[in-house]
Amino acid sequence: MNANPDLQTRVAVIGGGAAGFFGAIQIASGNNVSVTLLEKGKQFLSKVRISGGGRCNVTHHCLDPEPLSKNYPRGERELRWAFETFGPRDTIQWYESRGVLLKTESDGRMFPVTDSSETILEALFQEAKRVGIKLKTEMEIHSVTPIRNDSGKILKFQIKLKSEEILEYDKILFATGSGRKAWGWLQAMGHSILDPVPSLFTFKISDPRLEGLSGLSFETADCSLVDFNHSQAGPLLITHWGLSGPAILKLSAKGARELFEVDYKTVLRVNLIPGLKKEEVRKTIEKEKENHPSKLICNLPVLGIPRRYWEKILEINSIDFAKKWSGLSSKDLHLLTEELTNARFLISGKGEFKDEFVTCGGVNRKEVNFKTMESKVVSGIHFAGEVLDIDGVTGGFNFQNAWTTSYIAAQGILTSIQNGQRAG
């Protein structure tokens, strides 16, 4: 870095979360640049600290950009190419080169081997100190304004604090997450903001098939939002308020905006035997009838269905527990096949997913150059993380979005500085 502050480009990073902190480190690693990280709260990286139950789900061990990008209901196309520049493999290498080893769990999520987010925080703070970032907390910003010359060219940016103090910077990286106030500043500059709505949540369902079964899970189910043509396979969990589990959380992200628009009232279709066609399921049930005619139906759940759920669907469909398999009627056979492959539930609202709060919405992706993360509306403004209309499903994908977009934004800022110096 150049020792003469007068020759340094002044960059402000607004937002001290994962995207802002990582982006600030990348920018400050360049030459002739002074980086100030502004955080409105009392501490940096608060979400990183509590994520994954305090373990920090750093990324996901999906190293191929193509399937990786499929985990982003909004931003898939743009991130597909962004991950070529900086993906999970780069994230793993960055942390490991700083002494932080990561491990991969059975579902692909990656955590520090220490199982403590403090390991991640320590690495980031050490790096921030090494590259000389000015860290400022409790910075309540009132407004952000571009200052232009007579021809309309932006000369600098003024950040006015609530204390009336005015700070001036040459470039700004917005990493403000789902902050409505920051979106307001950006709107005032001419950016369009897609209204934020919740993503990643559970479904509230009041249905006799689920009553008394809280905690019961299915290894794999195919869940679909019938009205919106969204589907998702994965583990399914019955809760005391309805349905949850990876399949539901990922499905909620895919249908976040449509669900919001119908006030979270729609139909959920559940196939508990996704590996077989409906006809195959029916034949399997018929086979049980042939093989065990004298046994009670309630004592022989089919296809790995948990006994408690099997008994519940028998009860709901008025199939007597004392009935033997030989007494199974064609109507009973049809009802059971439908329950296992085509069950319909009425969603009445949304619950919460406390481990990870995510919204969809933010700065319109069409207004951003994803090769540099620079605004197409206001030159000198760059973006990273959830300030954009990008969100991922649960499993470390939102943090990877933060690392990726902040890295690209930093490279874009540094390249712009170098080009400006050459031109000068």
Helix extents (H) in 176-317: 180-188, 246-254, 256-261, 278-291, 307-316
Residue 8 dihedral angles phi and psi, to the nearest 5°: -90, 140
- Among the three residues 352, 370, 392, which one is the final residue of a domain in this structure? 352
Beta-ladder partners of 144: 159
Same domain, 338 and 362: no
Residue with tokens 């520049």: 85
Same domain, 35 and 130: yes
The domain containing residue 38 runs over which residues?
A: 5-197+357-423
- Among the three residues 352, 377, 397, which one is the final residue of a domain in this structure? 352
- Contact call for residues 210 and 237 (beta carbons, < 8 A): no
Q: How far apart are the first and last CA of the chain?
A: 19
Same domain, 121 and 216: no
What token pair was written down for 249?
């959380």
CA-nearest of 234, 208, 212, 231 to 221 is 234
Same domain, 64 and 150: yes
- Among the three residues 318, 352, 386, which one is the final residue of a domain in this structure? 352
Same domain, 27 and 140: yes
212 backbone φψ class: left, alpha, beta (φ>0; ψ -120 to 50) = left
What token pair was written down for 250?
């990922």
Domain count for the chain:
2
Q: Which residues contact 11 (CB under 8 A, 6 or more apart)?
A: 27, 33, 34, 35, 36, 169, 170, 171, 172, 173, 413
Same domain, 24 and 170: yes
Q: Which residues contact 271 (CB under 8 A, 6 or more apart)?
A: 221, 222, 223, 224, 340, 341, 342, 343
Rounded Cα distance, 2 and 150, in Å: 31
- DSSP per-residue codes, 128-156: HHHHT-EEE-S--EEEEEEEE-TTS-EEE
Same domain, 116 and 18: yes
Same domain, 138 and 267: no
Residues of the chain with pLDDT under 70: 1-6, 352-357, 421-424
CA-nearest of 375, 376, 13 to 159 is 13
- Contact call for residues 376 and 363 (beta carbons, < 8 A): no
Same domain, 333 and 382: no
Q: Domain of 404: which CATH number? A: 3.50.50.60
Same domain, 139 and 127: yes
**Residues 344-402: tens digit of each pLDDT:** 999 999 986 654 567 899 999 999 999 999 999 999 999 999 999 999 988 899 999 99
Q: What contacts 24+ positions apart, CB below 8 Å, involve 63-68?
A: 63/87, 63/88, 63/89, 68/397, 68/400
Same domain, 104 and 30: yes
pTM for the full model? 0.85
Instruction: Give me the pLDDT at residue 357, please.
Output: 61
The CA–CA distances, whole Å, from 268 to 6, 218, 226 equal 61, 16, 6
Same domain, 48 and 111: yes
